[in-house]
Amino acid sequence: MAIIKTDQLVTLDNHINNEEFKHPGASGEFTGLLHNLTFAIKIISRDVRRAGLNDVLGMTEDTNVHGEQVKRLDEHANETIIRIMQNSGRIAVMASEENEEIITVPENRKRGKYVLVFDPLDGSSNIDVNVTIGTIFGIYKKITDTGGVEDVLQSGYEQVGAGYALYGSSTIFTYSTGKGVNMFAYDPTVGEFLLINENVQIPQKSTYYSVNEGNYNKWSSGMQSFVDYLKIIDKDSGRPYTQRYIGTGIADIHRTLLYGGIFLYPSDMNHKNGKLRLVYEANPLAFLIEQAGGRATDGKNRILELKPKNFHERTPLFLGSINDVLKLEEFLANENK
């Protein structure tokens, strides 16, 4: 079965404009915001492709708020998004993985009603080795007058849009405004994203799992038993599952969206909340996976219903095909019985 479908010639701009018609009373501000964001994505995509040539690969001397070394390309992607969105007139406030504090709009610029949370370049450890990296974003409506921390601490179900760009063998842009998930591929020769997969649906069950299994001995017994179970030979349930792990969360989740299966980043004995960040990684991804008919939890609770206290907080994350995630939850629920 071909995963990619291209029976019509629809550009991302046309698609975004058509989506606006589905929301009665839309002012065009949201549409404008998406146009601006995809402009930033085009610039980042170009710069990722030229990274080796431009000598922007490699570490800076800085560390980010999580104490990790920041690569120059991360900073560049971060600045590109901030500069474009601060000038868009559509933003009230933003939060980025690379900034300790929220990002406001300067006094002399127009403010809008939307809140943007993003990870400018996910998969930092893969930048230097030419492996797929991506940008993740979530969009909310502001709930304060001026745009402040409260706006970026909304629960994930309040998102009015979410998506990602993937800088892989081609540049892919995937987004949802709460009416299904649509996927586009960038054609650099004409400068347009073209629709390749409309209303993406994740398979209900699959035979892939994606996890950093090097951490096995640090996991809880339920998590260990689940992964052991996936490896038992059983033809009827499609086991053993196939393991795939790129180490760029957004690339692993892109594959999960198309092929199904389960992506896991659990807590472990050193990291009680796992590694991934709730606000600008887990929530946008959970929104997309649910829109595609899948399931996203922290092992017990729906990711989209968690209430962030800090916009850099982490959460365990399990997402993918509904039946695979339900099976995992069964193992976790039974671990202390």
Q: How far is the CB of 56 from ligand AHM (least distance, A)?
A: 16
212 binds, among Mg ion, ligand AHM, none (CB under 5 to 8 A by kind): ligand AHM
Residue 256's binding partner, choosing from Mg ion, ligand AHM, none, with beta-carbon cut-off 5 to 8 A by kind? Answer: none
Site for Mg ion in 115-134 (CB under 5 A): 119, 122
Identity of the residue numbered 190: V
List 275, 285, 287, 319, residue binding ligand AHM (CB under 6 A): 275
What is the identity of the amino acid at 57? L
Q: Considering CB under 6 A, how many residues would be counted as binding ligand AHM? A: 12
**Applying CB under 6 A, does 161 fall inside the site for ligand AHM?**
no
Rounded Cα gap, residues 325 and 206, in angstroms: 11
Regarding 74 and contact with Mg ion (CB under 5 A), the answer is no
Q: Is the peptide bond before 240 cis (omega within 30 degrees of 0)?
A: yes
Nearer to ligand AHM, 226 or 265 (CB): 265
Instruction: Tell me how far, at minimum, the Cβ of 100 lies from ligand AHM, in Å.
Output: 15
Pairing of strands 91-96, 103-104: antiparallel
β-pairing, 114-122 vs 91-96, is parallel
Distance CA 55, CA 246 (A): 24
Angle, alpha carbons 149-155-157 (nearest 5°):
140
Pick from 249, 274, 284, 320 the residue near ligand AHM by CB under 6 A. 249
By CB under 6 A, the residues from 8 to 67 that bind ligand AHM are none
Residue 119 in the binding site for ligand AHM (CB under 6 A): yes
CA 203 to each of CA 101, 226, 290, 321, 325: distance values in angstroms, whole numbers, following the listed order: 38, 20, 12, 6, 12
Selected range binding ligand AHM among 27-35, 48-56, 246-254, 328-336, rule: CB under 6 A: 246-254
Count of residues near Mg ion by CB under 5 A: 2
Q: Could you say whether residue 132 binds ligand AHM (CB under 6 A)?
A: no
Give the residue, chosen from 112, 120, 123, 316, that forms a contact with ligand AHM under the rule CB under 6 A. 123
Output phi, psi for 47, to 5 deg. Answer: -75, -30
Cα separation, 303 vs 222, in Å, equals 19
Beta strand ranges found along the chain (DSSP E): 59-63, 69-71, 91-96, 103-104, 114-122, 133-141, 161-167, 171-176, 182-187, 192-197, 208-210, 242-243, 262-265, 295-297, 317-320
d(CA 149, CA 135): 22
Q: Shortest approach of Mg ion to residue 42 CB, angstroms?
A: 20
Q: Return the range that interacts with ligand AHM (CB under 6 A); candidates 32-40, 48-56, 118-126, 283-291.
A: 118-126
CB of 296 to Mg ion, least distance (A): 16
Contacted entry of Mg ion, ligand AHM, none for residue 248, CB cut-off 5 to 8 Å set by kind: ligand AHM
Measured CA to CA, the distance from residue 240 to residue 203 in angstroms comes to 18
Q: Given the complex with ligand AHM, which of 124 and 297 has the nearer CB atom?
A: 124
- The residue ranges that bind Mg ion (CB under 5 A) are 119, 122
Give the residues lining the site for ligand AHM (CB under 6 A).
68, 97, 119, 122-124, 212, 247-249, 265, 275
